[in-house]
Structures are given as C-alpha cells and as structure tokens.
Amino acid sequence: MQPTYRPSRIARARKCGFRARSRTRGGRKVLQNRRRTGRKYLTKV
C-alpha cells in the first residue's frame, strides 16, 4: 500500500492558493468573506 497523503507544495498551491481562489467566482467569494472576518491569512499557500 502507498500512503494516502503525499504532500506537494505545487499541487496544493494550484488547488488552494491565492491565485486559484481568485480565478473562480466561488473562490473570490471565499476571499471576500475571509477579508470581511479580518483574517490575517487569506489562503494557506
């Protein structure tokens, strides 16, 4: 068996990064809500 979680910074950034969030309408909504609640970090990557 292989491990189920094999971290890759590139794959993570492409999926959950700031630029990935900015591209889609829903992602922009996520950023907007996180800004509204006053998050220090908008995205993890």
Residue owning tokens 């800004």: 35
pLDDT tens readout for residues 1-45: 999 999 999 999 999 999 999 999 999 999 999 999 999 999 998
Where in the chain are the domains?
A: 8-45
Distance CA(20)–CA(30), nearest Å, equals: 11
Q: Which CATH architecture has domain 8-45?
A: Orthogonal Bundle (1.10)
pLDDT value, residue 45: 84
Residue 17: closest CA among 37, 43, 42: 43
Distance CA(42)–CA(23), nearest Å, equals: 14
Q: CB-based contacts of 19: which residues, under 8 Å, 6+ apart? A: 13
pLDDT value, residue 25: 98
pLDDT value, residue 27: 97
pLDDT value, residue 21: 97
